[in-house]
């Protein structure tokens, strides 16, 4: 029985690797896209199925069939680990800024042919020449946002909300969720303490670890996508997360849950961008996919569905989109696009050296073990 099971497992692994390597029928191209969970309009709740729409559009435009093999990850670190292992191949990935910088340093991304991405012209100037891609050669911004704190007003006193201290408030022990990735988790402590999230001084990270250890007994769970169900159901009452996801949770909250949101004074501003990894099997097809994602119907559908701010002027200048999102959402998601560059430069994560990364990962393991 074990031998048969092993054979079946090996066969399944071989099939999986074949798919990820771009295998498929002779008449069908396979495009492997790797993205965050809950980060594309997928056809649910009456939304546009962006992947299916691209497949249909491509066949009509080029007379060839394409299949998008779309898979998801929970964090930049998970994506990096899988891609750097060399065991799989993807054509399009959508990392965050600091991870893009790291991947570029390690020659993990290919320069883009913008002749195949004419819709890049709609990307706002505020999102060009940012530190992670100063010459705009490797990336096309997909979304941007700000980290804030989500809280259940049926559990949390309003007087306690307003800064990072809420995440350390003993009144809500067992009701607090913390990020399950080292960069975001350490940043919550660093912002709280007024420390530099890009410091190269290990003592700064030691201070943050000490603060996270103080918080640890109060934490119900370290989460990424799990935060959705836990906040929506009332299983937890406080959690730091990305602004766009607050509206997704708000839309699905239970009757006994009253979710609210605020930005602490110091917090993370980030950009997630579409890139082509060096292991890509279909570069031109990948660029065509990126260009399609910038076109009006999928760009607006994605922005409406995932509730993240878009750097694409086709989206944020569209009156129907503005009406659909509503005043509160527009105020939270677009807190001043003209000021984005200065805020971003002040609070965005930068890439860390390998030595510092190793040091921080050791601290993270120490936190999680204790």
3-state secondary structure string across the chain: CHHHHHHHHHHHHHHHHHHHCCCCCCCEEEEEEEEECCCCCECHHHCCEHHHHHHHHHHHHHCCEEEEEEEEECCHHHHHHHHHCCCCCCCEECCEHHHHHHHHHCCCECCCCHHHCHHHHHECHHHCCCCCCCCCCCCEEEEEEEEEEEEECCCCCHHHCCCHHHHHCHHHCCCEEEECCHHHHHHHHHHHHCCCCCCCCHHHHHHHHHHHHHHHHHEEEEECCCHHHHHHHCCCCEEEEEHHHHHHHHHHCCCCCCEEEECCCCCCEEEEEEECECCCCCHHHHHHHHHHHCCHHHHHHHHHHHCCECCEHHHHCCHHHHHHHCHHHHHHHCCCHHHHHHHHHHHCCCCCCHHHHHHHHHHHHHHHHC
**Looking at the predicted structure, is the pLDDT value of residue 70 above 70?**
yes
**Looking at the predicted structure, is the pLDDT value of residue 370 above 70?**
yes
Question: pLDDT at position 345, please?
Answer: 84
How far CA 311 is from CA of 78, 171, 200, 348, in Å, comes to 25, 39, 30, 16
Distance, CA of 34 to CA of 195 (rounded, Å): 33
Question: pLDDT at position 9, please?
Answer: 37
Question: pLDDT at position 26, please?
Answer: 55
pLDDT above 90: percentage of residues in the chain = 81
313-329 pLDDT per residue, tens = 999 999 999 999 999 99
Asked which of 23-27, 134-138, 339-343 is least confident by mean pLDDT, the reply is: 23-27
CA 221 to chain centre: 20
**Looking at the predicted structure, is the pLDDT value of residue 310 above 60?**
yes
Question: pLDDT at position 347, please?
Answer: 87
363's tokens: 């601290």
| Cβ-proximal residues to 126 (8 Å cutoff; 6+ apart), any chain | 311, 337, 338, 340, 341
More confidently predicted of 365 and 351 = 365
99's tokens: 């991870």
Question: pLDDT at position 337, please?
Answer: 65
Question: pLDDT at position 338, please?
Answer: 67
The whole-number average pLDDT for the span 67-88 is: 93
The whole-number average pLDDT for the span 69-77 is: 93
Residue at token pair 């510092």: 356
Distance, CA of 151 to CA of 249 (rounded, Å): 11
Question: pLDDT at position 16, please?
Answer: 46
Question: pLDDT at position 4, please?
Answer: 32
Distance, CA of 70 to CA of 345 (rounded, Å): 32
Question: pLDDT at position 239, please?
Answer: 98
Angle between helices 296-306 and 283-293 (to 10 degrees): 70
Distance, CA of 267 to CA of 197 (rounded, Å): 10
Inter-residue contact 245 to 38 (CB < 8 Å): yes
**Looking at the predicted structure, is the pLDDT value of residue 336 above 80?**
no
pTM of model > 0.85: no
345-363 pLDDT per residue, tens = 888 999 899 999 999 999 9
20-31 pLDDT per residue, tens = 444 444 578 999
95-110 pLDDT per residue, tens = 999 999 999 999 999 9
What Rg do the C-alpha atoms of the chain give, in angstroms?
21
Question: pLDDT at position 18, please?
Answer: 45
151-210 pLDDT per residue, tens = 999 999 999 999 999 999 999 999 999 999 999 999 999 999 999 999 999 999 999 999
Neighbours of 145 (CB within 10 A): 22
Q: Would you say how long the chain is, in residues?
A: 370
| Cβ-proximal residues to 326 (8 Å cutoff; 6+ apart), any chain | none
**Looking at the predicted structure, is the pLDDT value of residue 2 above 80?**
no
């Amino acid at each position: 029985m074990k031998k048969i099971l092993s054979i079946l497992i090996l066969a399944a692994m071989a099939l999986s690797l074949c798919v990820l390597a771009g295998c498929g029928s002779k008449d069908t191209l396979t495009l492997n896209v790797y993205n965050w969970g809950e980060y594309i309009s997928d056809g649910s709740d009456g939304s546009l199925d962006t992947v299916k729409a691209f497949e249909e559009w491509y066949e009509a435009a080029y007379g060839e069939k394409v299949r998008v093999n779309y898979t998801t990850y929970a964090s930049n670190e998970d994506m990096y680990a899988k891609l750097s292992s060399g065991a799989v191949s993807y054509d399009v990935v959508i990392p965050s800024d600091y991870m893009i910088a790291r991947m570029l340093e390690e020659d993990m991304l290919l320069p883009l042919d913008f002749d195949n991405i004419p819709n890049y012209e709609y990307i706002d100037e505020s999102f060009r020449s940012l530190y992670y891609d100063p010459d705009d050669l490797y990336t096309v911004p997909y979304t941007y946002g700000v980290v804030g704190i989500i809280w259940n007003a049926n559990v949390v006193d309003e007087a306690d909300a307003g800064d990072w201290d809420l995440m350390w408030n003993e009144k809500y022990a067992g009701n607090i969720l913390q990020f399950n990735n080292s960069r975001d988790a350490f940043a919550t402590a660093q912002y709280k303490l007024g420390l530099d999230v890009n410091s190269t001084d290990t003592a700064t990270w030691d201070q943050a670890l000490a603060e996270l250890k103080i918080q640890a007994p109060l934490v119900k769970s370290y989460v990424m996508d799990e935060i959705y169900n836990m906040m929506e159901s009332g299983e937890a009452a406080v959690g730091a997360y990305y602004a766009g996801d607050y509206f997704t949770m708000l839309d699905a909250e239970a009757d006994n849950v009253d979710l609210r949101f605020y930005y602490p004074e110091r917090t993370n501003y980030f950009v997630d961008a579409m890139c082509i990894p060096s292991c890509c099997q279909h570069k031109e097809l990948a660029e065509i996919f990126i260009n399609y994602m910038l076109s009006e119907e999928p760009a607006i559908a994605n922005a409406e569905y995932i509730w993240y701010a878009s750097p694409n002027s086709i989206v944020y200048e569209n009156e129907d989109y503005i009406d659909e999102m509503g005043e509160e959402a527009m105020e939270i998601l677009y807190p001043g696009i003209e000021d984005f560059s200065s805020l971003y430069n002040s609070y965005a994560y930068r890439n860390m050296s390998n030595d510092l990364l190793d040091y921080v990962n050791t601290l993270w393991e120490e936190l999680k073990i204790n």
